[in-house]
Amino acid sequence: MVGSVGGVPIRVATWNVNSLKARLGRVEEWLATVEPDVCCLQETKLSDDAFPAMTFQAMGYESVHVGQGRWNGVAILSRLPISDVVTGFGPGIESDPEARLLWARCGPIRVASLYAPNGRSLDSEHYEYKLSWYERLLEALHRHENADDALVLCGDFNIAPDDRDVYDPDEFVGSTHVSEPERAVFRRLLEWGLVDVFREHYDAPGLFSWWDYRAGNFHKGKGMRIDLVLASRPVAERSTAVLIDRNARKGKQPSDHAPVVADFDLEQERTAP
DNA sequence: ATGGTCGTTGCACGA
């Protein structure tokens, strides 16, 4: 029997930065400290022309971005070579007018950076849009991806998967992010073959990634866990650590989201002798 | 205290 061999460590991060223009200094500082191999960003609020690719290149990151200015905008930064970039849901699926989804191969893994619609309220057309957006994401997985491949979906899902993921379930009754249709569509992502890697490491309630700027909610611990790293099983089985970096929510001019960092020790590619 | 704070080719609206 051969003993376990050393794998390839890879660090994947995701961060809703709530304007990359307003947050660039903090993002640079954070990347230099945490050194993720792949970093998915959401809510860049930039046009592609304004995306600071050179800043990231100088730090050793290739990058891809899809933006529309003003709202939304997602990016993938990678120290590993980027290829096979796809914007949105891909061919054969009704395209989305908003810049919320971007796929790229980053070295050994296929990565998606996603910013799901907020939904606003259960009786809003934006809520219907949110559910249809998730239906199309599922369709994209079924059509274009394989659950046996190394796949990582990162981003702001705008869904708290269960009651552990909100500070007070009673306060959220009748709200978006916790409604049964949203949680049901989220469970279908898991049924397809994705794993919420944070929950492979932590069972406790009260571990959040987003806190409203208002009312000192961060300091009161009133948040939600809506920023997630979902990995296909071959990757999730290799998850060694996950961290929500709530320190990044502190200090001057923070995003209202904390980054999530996930380490994987991928199997070494073996070539035949 | 039924609000609060951020962001934006801003000056109202989305989160």
A223-240, pLDDT tens digit by residue? 999 999 999 999 999 999
The torsion angles phi and psi of A173, rounded to 5 degrees, stand at: -60, 130
> Does the CB of A241 fall within 7 Å of any strand B atom?
no
> Does the CB of A174 fall within 7 Å of any strand B atom?
no
A118 CA: nearest nucleotide by C1': B15
Judged by DSSP in three states, A253 sits in: coil
A43-91, pLDDT tens digit by residue? 999 999 999 999 999 999 999 999 998 999 999 999 999 999 999 999 9
Question: Please, what are the domains in chain A?
Answer: 8-266 (3.60.10.10)
CA quadruple A158, A164, A170, A171: dihedral positive or negative? negative
Output the pLDDT for position A267: 80
> Does the CB of A69 fall within 7 Å of any strand B atom?
yes
Let me know: does A41 contact A74? Beta carbons within 8 Å. yes
Instruction: List the catalytic residues of A.
Output: 115, 156
> Does the CB of A132 fall within 7 Å of any strand B atom?
no
Output the pLDDT for position A146: 98
Q: Separation of CA A141 and C1' B10 in angstroms?
A: 38
